A = this chain, B = another copy of it.
Amino acid sequence: MPNNQFKKGELYSFITGKASTAIARNLQKKFNTAGLKITIEQWSVLYHLWKEDGKSQQELCNATFRDKPSITRLVDNLERLQLVKRVPADNDRRINLIYLTRQAQKLQEETMDLAEATLNEALEGVPADRIEICKEVLQIVYDNLR
């Protein structure tokens, strides 16, 4: 009986991701309050484009752990908001490369600051070494299930 650390009553919040839901809601509220009209999901796509612009939709799938239809629609909405542009790849006409617009580039600093603020609030009072352990456990969980 391995890992039966999770008694019935405690299993719930782990599965439902109470903590990460709370983090996402908090950050979304910060976006709204700041008048930034983007969703957390859209932000998560921009996040990877800020790291490297011109990724394909498939690369965005891998980076964001979403399936292809989800990325199609997120890119649809981001394009409607004039935050990204689909550009067909030269060498392979199946591929769309996604490029940030000027507008989206301007969002980076402000949204990243808000994200950092959310994490600081979330982790207030938690010692660094415990955060480290928590991160490691969550990474193992992810790897175990992949």
Q: Which residues of A contact B (CB under 8 A)?
A: 2-6, 8, 10-27, 40, 44, 47, 64-65, 112, 115-116, 118-126, 128, 130-142, 144-146
Residues of B within 8 A of A126 (CB): 3, 137, 140-141
| Chain B residues near A24 (CB-CB < 8 A) | 15-17
- Please state if A6 and B119 are interface contacts (CB–CB under 8 Å): yes
Interface pair B135/A133, CB less than 8 Å apart:
no
Instruction: Say yes or no: B136 contacts A130, CB within 8 Å.
Output: yes
- A19: which B residues are within 8 A, CB to CB? 17, 20, 138-139, 141-142
A123: B residues at CB distance < 8 A: 3, 5-6, 137, 140-141, 144
Chain B residues in 8 Å Cβ range of A17: 17, 19-21, 23-24
Q: List 20 A-B contacts (CB under 8 A).
A: A2-B124, A3-B120, A3-B124, A4-B116, A5-B123, A6-B119, A11-B119, A12-B47, A14-B135, A15-B27, A15-B118, A16-B20, A16-B24, A17-B17, A17-B20, A17-B21, A19-B141, A121-B145, A122-B141, A126-B140
A19-B143 Cα distance, complex, nearest whole Å: 9
